[in-house]
Structures are given as structure tokens and as C-alpha cells.
Chains A and B, each alone.
Chain A
Amino acid sequence: MSEAFIEREDALPAAGTAVVSAAGVTRRYGEGDTAVEALRGVSLEVQEGQLSAVMGPSGSGKSTLMHILAGLDKPTEGGVKIGGTEITRLSDSELTKLRRKHIGFVFQFFNLLPMLTAEENVLLPLSIAGEKASTKWVNELLDRIGLSDRRTHRPAELSGGQQQRVAIGRALVNRPTIVFADEPTGNLDSKTSEEILTLMRESVDAYGQTMVMVTHDPLAAAIADRILFLDDGLIVKELGHVEAHDVITVMEEFGR
């Protein structure tokens, strides 16, 4: 029904297996007359090793979609699968286990623990799960995020870009099935944003890391393999990899 509006462009790379999929997801807030429909029926699949960007104006439902895909929020209707597991009916402790293995997060405001060092922040998901990382992997990861010489610094001693690098390291450390990034450049200046986007792209390429990014930054969307446009709770357009100015053009199509 509503998917009929979706304009598919055949620019996808060779399709792998779907690691995240959503089917007919709706999300209603409130009841009766005051009810607001944030999502009105969204279905999608995210392929392994793919970097997807979800774009849309504020209020389009893109954040809600990400929250539901990541198991932070529950859909009113529809289902979400991560790595083949239906997550919408999982209990709190089952979701916790799922997060440990399969999900990484990158936040707009970094959300680092201020009392831990950069390295400790990166390793936190493992220590919470009671696992140990190999020194080789930790060194490689810290090298990758460019903080080998800052591993003992506290977040307060790091710049915004460096903090986001730590956050990316933290999201990657347990090699999750999928990393969700919520406006990862939303709190950074343009130069730093570029560095962070490069790092994210590199991580996807180097580790085959699947990633879903919510953003309203065309430059951010331009690093994605695939861009989904949301408006008014529906996916209204899907593109393959495009340059930033093309993203802007598409955005202007929606008149926003």
C-alpha cells in the first residue's frame, strides 16, 4: 500500500543477506484524538556490510525508526528482526543479551562515561559482557580510531571529534552485527564531521561492518551505500550511493 510510493533505483551493490529487517512497522504515540503516528508502515532490509543512511526532515520519524530497529522502542504494529531474531517480543534481559552481541551505538552527544579513560570507554561493552579483548584487536582498533596516543585521556580532555572517535571504537569493539549511529555528526563542526565520516566509512570497508546512520547532514548521507528518505512516517525514496549535492537535490524535492 504505502510502499507503492517508494521509488526504487537499481543502484544497490551486490546484495548480501539481510541482517536487519523491518516489516510493516507503525508507531503511534498517545491515544484517541491526540494520537500521533510517527511511523505509518515501514518495511526495509539492511544487507550485511552495508552502510545505510536514513534521512528526512525533523518529525519525519527517522529517529523513531532507528529506535525501533535498535530495540530501544517497540513498534505499535509490525516486526523487526536482527540476525534472524524477532526482537519486538523479547524480554528486557533477552534484549540486553542481544545488545551485547549484535548491536553497537554511536550517539549525537557521544555519551561517554566521564570517569573512564578513552581506552576504558572503548572496552566497556566487553567488560560489561564479561569478555576480554585480544591486545592485538584493541591496539588495531585504537589505531584505527586514531587514539593510540590518547588512550589514558578522560573524555573531558578530548575534543568533540576525539570523543566521537572513542564512541565509534566502543561501538565496534565487540564486532556487533549492526551499528546504529544517531546523528553522529550532529554535534561537530564540518571539518571534524568529515573526519568522523571518513572513519565510519573506513570501518565499514575494513571490517565489513553493517551500519545504519540517521542523519540530516547531506555530507554524511553521501558516504552511505544506500539512502532512505523518510517523510511523515513513510519511506518516500531510496537511493544508492550518491554525492552530497545530489542528496541536497533530493531533499529539496520534498520542499524542506
Chain B
Amino acid sequence: MIKVALRGLLGRKLRTTLTALAIVLGVAMVSGTYILTDTINKGFTTIFTQSYKNTSAVITARSTISNSNSNAALTGGFPASVLTKVRALPDVGAAEGSVNDTAKIVGRNGKTVVTHGAPALAFSVDPHDQRFNPLTLVAGSWPTGSDEVAIDSAVAKKQRYKVGDTIGVIARGPEHHYRVSGIAKFGSVASIGSATMTIFDLQTAQRLFNKEGKFDTIRVASKNGVSDAKLAAEISPVLPAIAQVRTTSAEVKQETTNVGFVGFIQKFLLAFGGVALFVGAFVIFNTLSITVAQRMREFATLRTIGASRRQVLRSVLIEGLITAVIAAGLGLFVGFGLAVGLDRLMSSIGISLPKSATVFATRTVVVSLALGIVITLLASLRPALRATRVPPIAAVREGATLPPGRFAFLGAPLKAIIAALGVALLLYGFFVHHISTAQHLVAMGVGALLLFVGVALISAWLVRPLAAVLGWPATKIGGSAGRLARSNAIRNPGRTASTAAALMIGIALVTFVAVLAAGIRSTVHDTLKETFVGDYAVTSPDGFTPFAPASERALAHLPSVTAVSGERVGDGRAFGKVVQVSGVNGDVAKVIHINWVQGSNSTPAALGSSGAILEKDYAAHRHMRVGQSFTLQTPTGRLLSLVLRGIYKAPKGPPAFGTVIISQQAFDAVYPQPTNIFEFVNIRGGATPANTAALKHALASFPDVKLQTESQFRKNQSRFIDQLLMLLYVLLALSIIISLFGIVNTLVLTVFERTREIGMLRAVGMTRRQTRRMIRHESVITALIGTALGLVLGFFLAFLVTQALKKDGIGFAVPTASIVVFVIAAIIAGLLAAILPARRAARLNVLEALQYE
């Protein structure tokens, strides 16, 4: 029987291939995600590990706020005298102090190189002692003296910098120029993503970052035979309060936890892999169901010559299993290519992360194969069970039909129950508040899954009316071929429904994100418009990286400028939680609309060194009233006692400020390296070309900032929505492609099944062209049914989400243009899917088709 199954597959190569493809892509998405995120994780781990090569223990400045790579910038280091004390300890073999901070490289276009949120790393290296140096030189030499810098090979390549070139670097204030002494790379890491590196000698770095007499890191090597833990324990007592020591492994572990977002990316991408597999399951289910129906005589014959039901079941399942194994195996390796594609996709929206050599973990193999195989087998279970119900008498009788299964009477109510259960779970997931995030997500996910399955089942009843409406244009355009196409589409409603269902899922999700994005976009747009009332905005070139506040002072000196307000940004700890702190000056209310609950536009100017402003809900939850005081802890551990001076109501969209607002003056006093995230400018005459030119001129020596008019700023700030939307579209396109394979498959099988009928039509005068047209129209009608169902479901899901997010101001907006695009895309997709089957139908030899047994 295994032979029968194997031969059966070989005998139906096209069908098997198309079926397998449905799973290949889903599995590839899963394996590609794992490969990519593993490679990224390994890249990070390698960087962290190699950063401390030959190191037993690491001394760093203590941060009260654990925060990624900007620790050094936030803390400002610890006294260099620590090094002398550490070197004097008995078990210390060697110790070396260094500075690590951030510094932006000015690119060939005169603007700082955009790192897309990745750090612009800067550190000191001892040119004469390579013991602790994680980097290796690719060209030139290590920098020595105050006018030399080494840069990383990736940025050198991208910006075409060579050894000997002059390069601009911005650390704290204005741009400094250096000679490129060398080009370096991180040991064995394939790529550090979009991060950049500048390397100086120690003194230059200390001067550049205002850390004279200070270090950010001391790497300590132990004497032979001394454990890392023992060494750390020995070092700990000699450290001042602002420094801490960790064993190297603890330090690496600590830094690795800071890249937990890779785990999020992994889950995010896996979700799309899951959707692709789900759609693939529909395609497989449908193809196998049709195949089983067409092979009734074969199964019946097997039964007459002694095959048991179990054997028939096994043979169909074995076919499914073999398809699954091949497809999953193939998908596993297609995943390599897809990993590259996913990486490109993320880079295109600015997420570029470090990568080691490609990591192909055992887990990737196991999970991808298991998912592919299990899902295929589940999808083939029902067709296989149907095959067992083929009665032996079907071998001798034309047009025998399958007897209904034992549970057929449950059919109709069961379908409705599945759909209803899905809706109930969705409602639970969206509107019940006291459950955990994981419970929310599971309820929503499973709910959506059940809803899709339920609607797919129910949709068999809807095929007839839908085809009547959606097939109407076909009957007008396609003449008799179109009319036949419409009747063909409703001939087997169950089959049309489940073919359409695969596409329905993709369209529903695309519609869902489109509707949601439209809602978010309009909220963001309204909020930005209401909030930012200045004439001009200054940001870093990418729009969100903090930058040195020097440009703010330069702008303030312009005579025509009536208000400049830079918004400082930093982390702090208040009420036991890490919060974002904003530092503002007295002009802030002139450029940002503040909806005061208590206080007025003159409040910011009167904050002084201890005043603070909080958001209404935040203050209310913490029972804070104006005049009461609270404590803010800075990353260096400084405690700032603040008095609440004003309360404002935040807009529903993106907030203009961090949680705690203090004055710039107070901010600069406690944050060692203050940075701005925005600067807003009012100027006499507003935004005019002349004013733009004047401001640009004033900012010419600040390559780390970008000048925008207020409307450009708004557009740039909402661009991320469109980028995210594009990312989601591309990821969902995979599922839609899979559903197209489903349509191709169904049509190919249908053409095969109707061979005799098509021969008859040709015999009575249907041209090849009309035959093709008939298939094409049927394909488009199927695609449109899937689209119609998908649109409705997508709207429904988006409606639920917007209702749930009402308080966050995300409204329900119909993206008409997008919907029109989807419908057109579906028609094109239907036409594409019909190409192969239509050609097959038109190619049929009339005589042979009629004689076909």
C-alpha cells in the first residue's frame, strides 16, 4: 500500500508539487525566521563575548537604570584611580581602563550616518596592547594622538572612507575632524548591522567625551588559577559606590538581556509563518478533498480486492506524509533564502542588526519539520477519512456518491458553533481586562483561527448568492463562457468555498491591518497637527535619535527667531518604575500645544531646578496633586526631589513628552550628557523659503541634525506607520501567494475532472479562446468570493480592535483606496492563477477528451 501511495504521488507530479508548495512557503517562513533571529542573536552574543576577550571580570559604572548600550553616555564613568587600586590586588594579572561612549560619523553627504536606532559606538583602544582589544585591523593602524580615529569596515565601505581620509565625528558638541588611521572590524562577526564604530586612543577619547581622569570600563584578567568569581569578589570592596564589578559571563549575560527585542522580532515573524501554514493547510485540505473525490473508483477498486478501510486511510495519510516530509524538508532550506529576504525587508524599514555567520540550529530543523508535517497531516485527515467511506460498489457503478459520515447530522450547527466560538474568544481577548497579555493574545489568535475556519465552513452556503453577484460582470464580459464560468463556480459550493477561504484569510488580514493603519494614521495626524504648533522642527537625520543640544544654542542666537525649545530626553526612575524624562525650557508652550489641567503656558518657565509637570492620568493614579513632591532618580544614582507644578492632559496619539517633565536647567544639572530629541523653532514670518535658508545656514555646522518645516516634520513622524504597513503587507503577501496556489490547484483538478465535458463543449463549437476565458472567469469569481469574505472579516476584526482601543483614540477608518487596490489585486491574482489551468483546458484534444474513460 505504501507503494500505491508513493506511485500515486509520482503519477500526479503537478498536483503534488502545487500541494507541496503550499507547505514549503509556510515552513520556509518558520525556518527563515529562526535562521535570521538565531544569526542575529549569535551576532550580539559574539559581540558581547568578544568585547571581553581575555577578561575575567569587568568593572563598569553603576547605573540605577538598566538601559542598553547608552549606559556609558548616561552615567559619565568612574574615576581612573580605580585602575591603580585594582592593579594592586594580589590576584589581578592585568587590567586596562577604557572609555566607551557614542559618537556619530559624518557621512559623505555632510549629514551624520543614519544608524536606524542602532548605537553609534565609540571607544578607546590601547594601540600598543592588544590583549583586551576585541577588534582586528583590516587596514591602516590603530589611532594615536588627538587627530586620529579608526572606523569600522562597514561604515568605511558604505561611506567610501579610506585610510588617510579626513572624517567628521560628532560626540558632544560640534563636529571634529580626524584623519582615518585605520579600519577595523569585530573579530568574527559577519556584520554589526547598522551600528557604527569610532575608535580613539584613550586620552583623545577621554577629552572628547568630557571624561578626563575617568573610565567607563576596566577589563581585568586574573592570575592563573584564580576563578572569575573569586576575582570579582576581591575587586568589589575597593570600588567606589558608583562603580560595580561583574564576572565576564555575568556581564555578557546582562548585556544580552538588553537585546530581548530580537525575541520579539522572532515571535512577530513566526506569527506570519503561522498564518502562512494555516493558509497552506486550507490549500492542502482542499486539494486532497478534490483528489479523493476524483479517485473514488480507485479506492473502491482497492476495497473490492481486499483493502480494509484502515489501509485506505493509511494510503491517503502516507501520501500526505510523504508530501509533507518533502515539502517541509524543502521549506527548511528555502528558509535560508527567505532569511536573507526577511533581513533585506527589515533593513528596508531601518531594522539592521548584527549578524554572525548563518546559524542553523537543531531547533530550527525540528520545529520547521514538525510544524510542516503535523499541519499537513491534520489537513489530510478529513479527506483521508472520506476516502475510507468510499463503498466498494463505487468500483462498478458510475457516479456513486459518498455516504454521509456518522457525524454529518452535526454539520450545520457545528459550523455555526465554531464561528460563534471564534467570535466569543475574540471578544474575550479584546474586551476582558483582568487577564494577562499572553491570555489576550492566545484568545485573539485562537479566536481568529476558529472564526476563519467557521466562516470557511459556512461560506459553502454563501457561494451561490455571492457567485450570482460577483459573477455578474463575468456574464456580461465573458458571454456564454462567462455564464458557464459562473455556473461552474457554484456547481460544487463546498469546493469553491474552501478554495476561496484560503484567499479569504490573507485578504482579511491585509484588510485588517489596512483599516487599523488608516485609523492610527488619522489619529497620529490629528495629534501631531494639534500638538506641534511651531514653525520649524529640528531632529536628527533619522528623526528619532537623540542629538547634542549645541544646535539649540546656535538657533537661539538668530535675531529673527522668536522661540526655540529643545526637548531633552533621558531615562529616570520615579514611583518605582523606569520612566522617560523630558527637559524643557520656558518657550515650550509656544511651540507645543499643552492642554493644561492645572497650570498654564507660563508654568514651564517657572519650573526652576525642582519643578515638574505630570500627565493627568499618571498623576491621578499616583495620587499626586500640584504642590506635592516626589523623587526622581537619574541613571547615575542622583536623587532629585521634585515638586509637582503643573498637570496636563496628553493627546490620544503619540505623546509629545516623556512621563516626567522638568526644566532643561534641572535636567542638565543631573544628566552628565544631555541630549535633545526635538528642537522646535518659531521665527518671524513663519515657514518661508527665506527663513528656511537662514535656519539651514545657522545649522550648517551641525551635521547631526535635520531642519524640517512643521508639516514636513509631521509627515516624517508618521512615516513609520506606512513603513510598518508595507512590512505587514509583504509578510502577508506570502499567505496570499499560497492561497493562489490553492486556486491553481483546484482549477487544474477541475479541468481534469471535466475533461469530457470540456471536450463536448469544444465539439459543439467552443473555441480554445472561449475555453480559456471560461476557466479565467471561474478563477476570478473564486478569487472575488474570497476577497469579499475577506474584506468583511477584515473589517469585522478591525472594528473589534478599534472598539477595544477606543480610549487610545484609534478610530475605525475605511481606507477606500487600499480596498480598491485589494479588489483589483484579487482580480489580477485570479487571472494569474488561471493561466496554467486555462492553457491545459484549451489544449485538450477534443477527440481524446470525448473518449476519455
Task: Give chain B nearest CB distance to A152 CB in angstroms.
Answer: 13
Q: Is A100 an interface residue (CB 8 A)?
A: yes
Q: Residues 280-308 of chain B: 1 if any A CB is under 8 Å from the residue's CB, otherwise 0?
A: 00000000000000000110011111111
Q: Is B8 an interface residue (CB 8 A)?
A: yes
Interface residues of B in 530-575 (CB under 8 A from A): none
Q: Measured between alpha carbons, how far is A128 from B302 in the docked complex, in Å? A: 8
List CB contacts (< 8 Å) of A81-130 with chain B.
92-93, 96, 99-100, 103-105, 107-109, 111, 113-116, 120, 124-125, 127-129
Chain A CB within 8 A of B392 CB? yes
Indicate which residue in A92, A103, A174, A182 contacts B309 across the interface (CB closer than 8 Å).
A92
A129 to B302, CA, bound (A): 11
Q: Most chain-A Cβ atoms within 10 A of its Cβ — which of B11, B301, B304, B393?
A: B304
For A105, list chain B residues within 8 Å (CB).
301, 304-305, 395
Partner of B297, one of A103, A111, A120: A111
B382 CB → nearest A CB, Å: 19
Q: Within the assembled complex, what's the spacing in Å between the Cα atoms of A63 and B398?
A: 13
18 A–B contacts, CB within 8 A, in A order? A67-B396, A71-B392, A72-B396, A92-B309, A96-B306, A99-B305, A105-B305, A107-B301, A107-B395, A113-B4, A113-B7, A115-B10, A116-B7, A124-B4, A127-B1, A128-B1, A128-B305, A174-B306
- Chain A residues lying within 8 Å of B8, measured Cβ to Cβ, are 115
Contact with A along B389-400 (1 / 0, CB 8 A): 001110110000
Q: Which residues of A contact B302 (CB under 8 A)?
A: 113, 124, 128
Q: Is B393 in contact with A73, judged by CB distance below 8 angstroms?
A: yes
Annotate B453-476 by CB proximity to A: 1 below 8 A, 0 otherwise: 000000000000000000000000
Q: Is A201 an interface residue (CB 8 A)?
A: no
Known: A107-B396, A128-B305, A170-B305. A113 touches B853 (CB 8 A): no
- Is B133 interfacial (CB 8 A cutoff)? no
Q: How far is the CB of B301 from chain A (nearest CB, A)?
A: 4
Which B residues are in CB contact (< 8 Å) with A63?
396
Asked whether, in the complex, the Cβ of B7 is within 8 Å of the Cβ of A115, the reply is: yes
User: Which of A72, A113, A114, A115 interacts with B304 by CB under 8 Å?
Assistant: A72
Contact A125 B395 (CB under 8 A): no
Contact across chains for A100 and B393 when beta carbons are under 8 A apart: no
Chain A positions within 8 Å of B307 at CB level: 96, 128
Contacts of B391 in A (CB 8 A): 72
* Shortest Cβ distance from B398 into A: residue: A109
Is the beta-carbon distance between A128 and B7 smaller than 8 angstroms?
no
Interface string of B706-737 (1 = CB under 8 A from A): 00000000000000000000000000000000
**Alpha-carbon distance A109/B301, docked complex (angstroms):** 11
Contacts A67-B393, A72-B396, A107-B396 hold; do A116 and B4 have CB atoms under 8 A apart? Answer: yes
How big is chain A's contact interface, by range?
A: 20 to 34
The chain A residue sitting closest to B311, CB to CB, is A128
Please, which residues of chain B bring their CB within 8 A of the CB of A129? Answer: 306
- The yes or no answer to B3 lying at the interface (CB within 8 A) is yes
Among B7, B8, B297, B309: residue with most chain A CB under 10 A: B7
Chain A: minimal CB distance from B322 (Å): 13
Interface centre among B298, B306, B392 (most CB of A within 10 A): B306
> A72 contacts B393, CB within 8 Å?
yes
Which residues from B are CB-within-8-Å of A72?
304, 391-393, 395-396
The A interface, classified by DSSP as helix, strand, loop or mixed, is mixed
A129 and B391 CA atoms in complex are apart in Å by 18
A96 with B10: CB separation less than 8 A: no
Could you tell me the distance between the alpha carbons of A92 and B307 in the complex, rounded to whole angstroms?
A: 11
Whether B301 and A127, one on each chain, are in contact in the complex, defined by CB atoms closer than 8 angstroms, is no
Chain B residues within 8 Å of A, Cβ to Cβ? 1, 3-4, 7-8, 10-11, 297-298, 301-309, 311, 391-393, 395-396, 853
Instruction: List the B residue with the shortest CB-CB distance to A73.
Output: B393
Q: What B residues does A108 contact at CB under 8 A?
A: 396
Chain A minimum-CB-distance residue to B9: A115
User: Which residues of chain A from 184 to 222 have any CB-CB distance to chain B below 8 Å in the complex?
Assistant: none
Interface residues of A, Cβ cutoff 8 Å to B: 63, 67, 70-73, 92-93, 96, 99-100, 103-105, 107-109, 111, 113-116, 120, 124-125, 127-129, 170, 174, 182
What chain A residues lie within 8 Å of B298 (beta carbons)?
A: 111, 113
Apart from A107-B301, A111-B304, A128-B311: 6 A-B pairs, beta carbons within 8 A: A107-B396, A109-B853, A111-B395, A116-B3, A116-B7, A120-B3
Are A100 and B4 in touch, CB under 8 angstroms?
Answer: no
Between B303, B392, B395, B396, the greatest number of chain A beta carbons within 10 A of the residue's beta carbon is seen for B396
Chain A nearest CB from B318 CB (Å) reads: 14
Query: What chain A residues lie within 8 Å of B311 (beta carbons)?
Result: 128
Tell me which residues across on chain B come within 8 A of A103, comparing CB atoms: 304
Most buried by A among B10, B309, B395: B395
Bound together, the chains give a CA A115 to CA B1 distance in angstroms of 12
Interface pair A115/B305, CB less than 8 Å apart:
no
Q: Residue among B10, B303, B392 with the most chain A CB within 10 A?
A: B392
Residue of A nearest to B306 (CB): A100
The distance in angstroms between the C-alpha atoms of A93 and B301, with both chains bound, is 16
Q: Are A115 and B11 in contact (CB under 8 A)?
A: yes
Say yes or no: A124-B308 contact (C-beta < 8 A), given A63-B396, A113-B298, A182-B396. no
Smallest CB separation, A4 vs chain B (Å): 31
What is the distance, in angstroms, from A123's C-beta to the closest C-beta of chain B? 10
Residue of B nearest to A63 (CB): B396
Known: A116-B3, A128-B1. A99 touches B395 (CB 8 A): no
- Minimal beta-carbon separation of A252 from chain B (angstroms): 28
Closest B residue to A170 by CB, please name it: B305
Chain A residue at smallest Cβ distance from B315: A128
Complex-state Cα separation, A115 to B3, whole angstroms: 9
Q: Which residues of B contact A174 (CB under 8 A)?
A: 306
Is A127 touching B309 in the complex (CB atoms < 8 A)?
no
Are A114 and B853 also in contact (CB < 8 A) when A93-B309, A124-B305, A125-B305 are? no
A255: min CB distance to chain B, Å: 28
A160, chain B: closest CB distance, angstroms: 10
Whether the Cβ atoms of A113 and B301 lie closer than 8 Å is: yes
Residues of A within 8 A of B10 (CB): 115
Q: Are B393 and A111 in contact (CB-based, < 8 A)?
A: no
Name the one of B297, B306, B393 contacting A99, with C-beta atoms under 8 angstroms. B306
Cβ B11 vs Cβ A127 within 8 A: no
Residue of B nearest to A187 (CB): B853
Assembled-state Cα–Cα distance A114/B1 (Å) = 14
Nearest chain-B residue to A182 (Cβ)?
Answer: B396
List residues of chain B with CB within 8 A of the CB of A114.
11
Determine whether the beta carbon of A128 is less than 8 Å from that of B396.
no
Whole-angstrom CA separation of A170 from B301 in the bound complex: 11
Cα A103 to Cα B301 with chains together (Å): 13
Interface centre among A72, A120, A127 (most CB of B within 10 A): A72
Instruction: Determine how close the nearest CB of chain A comes to the CB of B522; give it in whole angstroms.
Output: 59
Q: Which residue of A lies closest to B297 (CB)?
A: A111
